[in-house]
A and B are shown apart, each in its own frame.
Chain A
């Protein structure tokens, strides 16, 4: 076999593998979309290519009987607050760890990273009682505060890794020109660290949208539900019965998120790789 045919065979094999993978990726996604367009609520009589094409589930989600829009709003509030808050908090923590000497600097972050690997389930019991004591149980504020506190170690570690790659000579030059620490932070480090801060913002915007466990424990009344919680409840009670409705609700959340992700993918990866590999 000549090397040319061999190469052609190889390329064909590569495309074949990629095609199989693509089918496996698309199948469940298309299936969900198909389900959401079926009439009726039964999974059994539904198929991936609907016999009776209908938008009834989408219409229902936007009708006054459903709380879907409210959940969407709640999720967006939590996600936005978490994204903004986490950038502010972690940027400051990372700045301290990257540029200053203080007690606990050397191992502080690592200790928190390790402590955080203890499973959260028992923390849930403690947080539940604690939130109850300070009156933040079943509120979005309580949920946001827990997300904010929990994200710090990992993200501060990422951002610190990025800050470390910014030459210290820049700070020193600014210091000679009379800039204080806040000024250096604001006009030197922050502009240069925009890519990693964007990654932190995006991750912390997405995390609450995807999370199911914490809201299921903290939130109990339906008007405070986040999307994950609300959608789960569509199928929680009678699995087969509301699946098509769940599918419609899922499509409406998955499409915008996937779009954002795909747009920002290159950005995401480069930020993550440069911060995470240099910590």
Chain B
């Protein structure tokens, strides 16, 4: 077989299997039916002769619903609408499957109800009641009065039939009717004419009664059919209304949720802003408190330094006051008498001690410690404490005015900044 022939046969086979459709399934009535949503298996409906239902909710929008037998044959399906619901009834050989699919704004739902074929007795009763369309569901309330009428008619018919049978039986049992085994030619003489006439009359009455009963039944059937049609229409309308109400409710709910969400969002934004503002305020208060504490400490230190300075001044003053006056005049004399005396001698003289001058400097980046030490040495000073990058330097009181002194310090190459207060 050539490839072309093979391909043609394959195509023919596919077409034939599609024409065969549902008939291809070899599953029995008791086998489960698989339900697929968007071509994914979501569950089984194992009816096995009884009514069964399956409800499925999905987060994604439903595109289609398919029913497959256990051997994989596609039995039926339904294409879902973009929004809203759609129902269909799928006949499965004998049974019926009712599918309902609904799509919401987000996600959807599927309801599948397996309705088994009614039993023989049930069908016979329905046929008698003129309910030809077994597939249409009917509410019990609507059926009950009709059924009562039909039952009454049936009873009436049965009574008539019983009457006829009794009549015939009693006729056969009576002595008049005993010569039954007569031949056909003997019959006119065997039965009295009046009896035959009476029997005929009874038969006519009975047939009339039967015809009337049949008419009544037919009328009832028509009435029932009309009633059922009305009921179906009513149900359909009711379903549409219910669906519309549901849709409106959902929309209202969504809107309400949307409004609530907006309000919540606004509240959250405001609260968030207030919260952040509060946090910022707290941070500022905290930093102010810290700064305040630092200021208090510095003030305390300054006061302490001030106290020390006062003490020193006082002690110096006392020392000065204790010194003898001639000793103070002596150098003057000595200066006058010995003008060429070396300055060392003059320096050696006791001079009133002045408190050292304290200032703070920061040095340029990359300044070595040697350079700093050399500069301090050149300044005839000594290094004090190092605090937060500021180096305390103690020197003798500068002779020039403070501004100029500070300018000179600032002009030094290695000095970055200078200040006199801490």
Task: Say whether A associates with B.
Answer: no
A residues at B contact (CB < 8 Å): none
